Structure 1
Amino acid sequence: MSDAKPGPIRTFFQFIWNAVNFTNHLVFNLIMLFILIGILAVISAGMSAKSFTPLRDKTALVLDLEGVLVEQRTVDSISTALAEAQGGGEREILLRDVLRIIKAAKKDPHITHLVLNTDGYNAAGMASTREIVAALKDFKTSKKPVYAFADNYEQKQYLLAAQADKIFLDPEGAFFPEGLGRYRLFYREALQDKLGLDVHLFRVGEYKSAAEPYILDAASEESKQADLFWMNDIWQRYLQQVGSARGIAPEAISAAINELPQRLAAVKGDLAQLAVNEKWVDGLKTAYEMEQYLVEQGVAFDDESGSFQQIDMIDYLGHVNSNQIAKPSADAVAVVVAQGEIVDGEQPQGMVGGVTTSALIRAAREDDEVKALVLRVDSPGGSVFASEQIRREVELTKAAGKPVVVSMANVAASGGYWISMNADRIYADESTITGSIGIFGLMIRAPRTLEKIGVHSDGVTTTPWAGAFDMTRPMDEPTKQVIQSVIERGYAQFIGKVAKARKQTTEAIDANARGRVWSGAQAKEKGLVDAFGGLQAAIDDAAARAKLGRNDYRVDYIEEPMSPFEQFISNLAGNSETQGLVRWASPALGLIQQTRMGQQIRADLQWLDRNGSKPVNAVAHCFCTF
């Protein structure tokens, strides 16, 4: 560890961050005090006797999925609650909540219809969307009708809508199936030719393309070949699933996409009418017409609102939570979520901290009531050191006699695979993105950049290595050899650990590694995952391995608990009166959003802390989303 004081540039940015952070907290606390007083006034006036809307017969559950689907909240609980109460902002929807809501509604006698509103729905990948698809299919076995309505349909949104009995689109809307693609910016010319920076990439594996944008002007042929291989697999599965749900041959959908200019011209550019002609939707309706249609289909009419009788997702989740009866058994299956980039040290939710996530796994291991662990992974990887810290905790948990099952979500690649490989069993969706077994190191040197402005670096050292990693100095061949040796050792460790965990030879793993990305279906063929299934399949497997009865255990998410105040605000966010009050106060709440630049300053400082302490930092990261 170095005792050197931070330089003037970093000190300046730290001062700016502290000032912004202080202002942020001051404004936030004042506004929260104002809102809290208003909420207490509402409660004391008796405006709300219940914390959620009462359920009545012949009610439609409106599954409003506007927001980002996540495994775990990436913002603090108070901000999340306020965003939900405002009905906007950066709303995050927990996948586990959506699945619980659909499951509960299936058996709820008050819920007679389900209405899907997918406008604004955003998911990081296909796998989590396909889990909702499976839940909707299960719901339909109740014979309760499902209707979908949207202003527009994006591809992942349409995959959900396709499960409905009837799909409707606004007359001015569109469904534009464009396929999968991935384009990235390449910076070699800007960094090296224009700015004079020397970028050195060290890697093992011709398919490890994460850092190619810094050394090339376009994607390598190996990168294009590998990407197209897994993308085609996921896209064909998408066409098959949509086609099966709608009774349309996948070839017919592909033909319509390929002939889009001609077919669109035939309907004079009307994308909504094109969707009807291609049987992608069943009809065109305005929002008002959709309300009338639902009443005609048997949903009760609500005189008070002048619309069909309905309950939204937040209110219904309140019912589900209030009616949930705790399982009598003390035995539990713990779920630890590893979502986001894998980073050294302690990290907030939304990132996987080597120390933080390890501590959560350790807490599950040391809890006598926890009999098995499910590690839910949705991560493109990151730090090799942090990944290894987490993998060791998985090994220790197994050694303690507690089964560990991994459930891969949208992405479990590179470092995400590293933390998964030692599980007793690995579940993935066919459209999960995984693999990318490889590591790299990226070093930047700036002597030519400094020369452009007349600045030069010079000095003396007691050994050849004292200044070898100084970015103001050119990188010599011995230094390059040292770094490459470290990267090659890291790769050998990676494939060696995978081979041991997966009971294969290192040669077999190397043939399927070298940084290459696979879909979940392809990974299963390669022996990198064990079975297809979502989170519930992994939980069931873990419980069976721990010899727990089918209904004799509870599921505990091991996370940082909310403070009493956060819990209070979170509960109030589902109250309709609270929502109205917060919307009324939203202009003031907008002030908080103006301090978001402070978050970027903090992220930049954290990046300096993470990457500035080691001369050689091996990374197991995959830029493999679409």
Structure 2
Amino acid sequence: MIRFIKVLILCLIALPPLSAQDFGIAVQDQVFAPLINPAAMGVGNSAGVAYINRVSKEQGFLNDYDLLFSLGNLAYSYGNSYGTETHLLASGFPLAHGTYGGISYQWIENMPGNLGLSFLTRPTDFLSLAIKGVDLNHEASAEVGIGLRPLIFNSTTASRFTLSGEARFQKSKWQGISLGAFVEPLDGFNIFSDYNFEREVFHLGVRLSFSYLEVGSTMDASGEQRWEEGIFQAAASFKKQRSIVEPSQNQAIEYDLANVILDAPVAGYSTLFPEEGVRTLSDFILDMEKIKRDSTAKAVIFKNQGFRTNFANLLEVEEVLLDVKESGKELYFYYDSINNLPYSLVASVADEVYLNPAGAVYLQGFSVTSFYLKDFFEKWGIKIHNFQSHDYKTAYNILSESQMTEKEREALQYVYDGLQSQMTRMIEEGRKEKLSETAQSLIDRGPFIYASKALEMGLVDTLSYEDEFNTIMREQGLNVVKASLFQDSMEYDWDDTEKPIIAVIYATGGINRGEGKAGSSIGSDSMIQAIRNARRNPLVKGIILRVNSGGGSSLASDLIAHEIALCRSGDNPKPVVVSMGGAAASGGYYISAPASKIVASPVTITGSIGVITIIPDISGLMEKYSIAVDTVKTAEHGDTGQILKSMTPEEEEQIKEYVAALYDQFVSLVGEYREMSYEEVHDVAQGRIWTGEQAKERGLVDYNGGLTTAFEVIRELIQTDKDFRLIEIVPGRRPGFMERLVTDPFLSSIKSETPMPEDLENILKLYKSLRKYRNGEGLYLMPYTTEELGVFSKDES
């Protein structure tokens, strides 16, 4: 094999080259695309640098060369032909899925420049069409091209054999029809040829690829001077290619990008704190899919990756990593210290867990500790009227109660039991016989499980410092490459326009009327517009609504739910699958109920079907400080809800009636779309929260799973076995960089050296929540956030 490669390389250098390959305008989309067809740069394979040199068999390398620099969508080429300099600027970009446009401008010293426009479309995965306009500002001409892949029936051979055809239209007539072929019989060994019928010129070329490098030569095999001239070309690609040299099978990818996993792709998230490793859940899924397909990767290493996200996302990460593990990759984890939820994930999937000898495993299960302000308020003459549809609707009990009620305790304990069962399952399934006793008993002995104790209990496999861990990996023969430096692989398959489009719409944050803030709050106006646009777009075949919300305004929730219902029965109907994230409760469940199907993680916090509203009364405070209050009104109840006066019994009854009516509306809507009777919904409603697993048992959701499960369900509903293309939509106003940095509590917490005390943080969150809603408005609001419930991993390990 080595001898064969040496012979090929010698032949490539000695072969008599010609001019740069100028055929295959519908086919070539890699490093040389800027010179062949700028529109093909939009495919995304063209980033790199290249060198092209005319070569003669007798004279060797001639003074006729080009240097090409491509950033992907923008490229510059410098050419020098026997002292005459040529410059080319080219750009290519996607116009629509599978369709690309390009523009170029070439100029030679002391001569006017030439403008070029090009277009490329791939309507199917076996057909490519291209047109390139040349010298459009002078003597315009056009080239048209076609590419065919006849072996498309076999996915492994489809990209290895491509036919091409081209013709030029100039001076009102067609000229120079040519036919060509591109063949890759072995990884990295490419043969290509072209015959021009008008000029009777035959070109033959060979190219060798070595992962990120390639060398090749094209020859003129016609006329009296056949095999005497041609070109030599060499390129370095920013994308990993199929290689003729057998790659190392002992590569380990150190995945250093998952310190923070966001649910929705917030604008600018990937560049805000790049050193922290901020990814979305969908990013992470795609990253792991690439690693899984990489035949050179034997293992994946995680060092101190915090996996700061909600418990539901961690379960999806678990599923994805187990899939990677089943593909034959080994998973190694190293931590200085590790916390509750991230440890559950690591224990579930790791082949081996390494811990710093001075570190600890902080296991403590789940808990919530809240303050209750009723007695404190009463001392100041303040009363909070807490109108609840049912006793389980406890969102504002901290303001209206002296202590935790029995109903609140009952609901919390039941949900926590469900969450704890998932946590113990993850630890026991992953660690199996390594544990010294049951996972629950080990958790009960937490939270401060120091390193040597964690080793004794079987929670970790080895105690080592990071440098010692690195040595152990090297001794296993692993060549470690950081994922942040790991280049994408070349995409060989044609991404056709026929793929069905699925719109993934993110509903994240509290629900309120008007415009939301992208990735932080759900505004009814912006969310409705996003759903309506997807419903009316004929190219969109289905919608996945990713809900991560504890609810909010009852009116805003109903407006959004109505728009989702129109996807089932209105104009342009199409399936909607709800994928529930960390929480989809109260208003979050209300907007989910009309969907075609609902998918929830086993640990999603959902349910909370109920209504609440609060009205503060500070008349006692006014009286305490001898502050007079008086009113002018034109209606008997014109001052209802005014915090400066006490409520009358009649006003209280009116509000209770209002809350009851909203509850009936909530239960009726769920009953209609979940095909349950009023009584069946009421039995599982009354404001009570459930885990996703408990909700499935009660008919509130259809499947337990995450985004990947939602993709499978939508595929069944649109009845396709094709791969589909995802369009991610985050409705709402997009704040600028400084606003995100200063005001976004999640992103700012990433960098916080002195985090805010948790109780104070909760008070501020409560104030911000109350400020969004009108006084006395009925709210579909869950009692706790995922952070308050302890099902959000936010502390650094």
Matched AA of 1:214:
L
DSSP 3-state at the match of 1:247: helix
Q: Aligned equivalents of 1:363 and 1:278: distance in 2? A: 55
Deviation by residue 1:536-576 (Cα, 9 ceiling, x = unmatched): 2212211221122332x21211235999x99xxxxxxxxxx
Report if the CA contact (8 A) 2:436-2:456 is conserved.
Answer: no
Q: Aligned equivalents of 2:366 and 2:493: distance in 1? A: 40
* Relative contact order, higher structure (CA 8 A, sep 6+): 1
Matched AA of 2:451:
A
Q: Aligned equivalents of 1:325 and 1:81: distance in 2? A: 29
Q: 1:83 aligns with which of 260, 273, 282?
A: 273
Distance change (3 Å), C-alpha of 1:615 and 1:529: closer
Report if the CA contact (8 A) 1:205-1:515 is conserved.
Answer: yes
DSSP 3-state at the match of 1:372: strand
Q: Aligned equivalents of 1:527 and 1:603: distance in 2? A: 32
TM-score under structure 1 length normalisation: 0.77
Q: 2:517 aligns with which of 334, 348, 361?
A: 348
DSSP 3-state at the match of 2:541: strand
Distance change (3 Å), C-alpha of 1:609 and 1:156: closer
Deviation at 1:101, TM superposition (A): 0.6
Q: Structure 2 matches for 1:172-571, cutoff 5 A?
A: 172-193=358-379, 195-248=380-433, 252-259=438-445, 271-300=450-479, 309-312=480-483, 314-316=484-486, 319=488, 326-349=495-518, 350-399=520-569, 400-551=572-723, 553-559=724-730
Distance change (3 Å), C-alpha of 1:515 and 1:251: farther
Report if the CA contact (8 A) 2:451-2:463 is conserved.
Answer: yes
Q: Aligned equivalents of 1:326 and 1:156: distance in 2? A: 39
Q: Aligned equivalents of 2:296 and 2:732: distance in 1? A: 33
Number of aligned residues:
522
Deviation at 1:271, TM superposition (A): 0.9
**Matching residue of 1:107:** 293
Report if the CA contact (8 A) 2:605-2:692 is conserved.
Answer: yes
**Bigger Cα displacement from structure 2, 250-259 vs 525-534:** 250-259
Report if the CA contact (8 A) 1:342-1:381 is conserved.
Answer: yes
Is 1:621 paired with 2:782? yes
Q: Aligned equivalents of 2:388 and 2:279: distance in 1? A: 37
Report if the CA contact (8 A) 1:435-1:513 is conserved.
Answer: yes
DSSP 3-state at the match of 1:146: strand
Matched AA of 1:434:
T
Distance change (3 Å), C-alpha of 1:523 and 1:459: closer
Deviation by residue 1:376-412 (Cα, 9 ceiling, x = unmatched): 1111111111111111111111223201111112211
**Considering only aligned residues, what root-mean-square deviation do their CA atoms show, in Å?**
3.2
DSSP 3-state at the match of 2:581: strand
Distance change (3 Å), C-alpha of 1:519 and 1:340: same
Deviation at 1:73, TM superposition (A): 4.0
Distance change (3 Å), C-alpha of 1:236 and 1:615: closer
In our comparison, the structure showing a higher alpha carbon Rg is 2
Q: Aligned equivalents of 1:412 and 1:158: distance in 2? A: 25
DSSP 3-state at the match of 2:438: helix
Distance change (3 Å), C-alpha of 1:60 and 1:339: same
Report if the CA contact (8 A) 1:415-1:620 is conserved.
Answer: yes
Deviation at 1:452, TM superposition (A): 2.9
Q: Aligned equivalents of 1:324 and 1:449: distance in 2? A: 72
DSSP 3-state at the match of 1:64: coil
Q: Structure 2 matches for 1:61-100, cutoff 5 A?
A: 61-64=253-256, 67-74=259-266, 76-77=267-268, 80-84=270-274, 87-88=275-276, 92-100=278-286
Q: Aligned equivalents of 1:610 and 1:189: distance in 2? A: 26
Distance change (3 Å), C-alpha of 1:92 and 1:344: farther
Distance change (3 Å), C-alpha of 1:173 and 1:51: farther
Deviation at 1:242, TM superposition (A): 1.2
Q: Aligned equivalents of 1:478 and 1:250: distance in 2? A: 63
Deviation at 1:151, TM superposition (A): 0.8
Report if the CA contact (8 A) 2:258-2:305 is conserved.
Answer: yes
Q: Aligned equivalents of 2:513 and 2:609: distance in 1? A: 19
DSSP 3-state at the match of 1:485: helix
Matched AA of 2:560:
I
Distance change (3 Å), C-alpha of 1:321 and 1:99: farther
Deviation at 1:520, TM superposition (A): 1.3
Deviation by residue 1:440-494 (Cα, 9 ceiling, x = unmatched): 0010121122223331111332221122222112111111111111100000100
TM-score under structure 2 length normalisation: 0.61
Report if the CA contact (8 A) 2:545-2:576 is conserved.
Answer: yes
Q: 1:135 aligns with which of 320, 324, 329?
A: 320
Matched AA of 1:558:
I
Report if the CA contact (8 A) 1:68-1:122 is conserved.
Answer: yes
Percent identity reads: 26
Is 1:611 paired with 2:741? no
Q: Aligned equivalents of 1:73 and 1:405: distance in 2? A: 19
Q: Aligned equivalents of 1:107 and 1:53: distance in 2? A: 15
Q: Aligned equivalents of 1:605 and 1:202: distance in 2? A: 18
Distance change (3 Å), C-alpha of 1:296 and 1:361: same
Q: Aligned equivalents of 1:224 and 1:182: distance in 2? A: 10
Matched AA of 1:427:
V
Q: Aligned equivalents of 1:282 and 1:607: distance in 2? A: 45
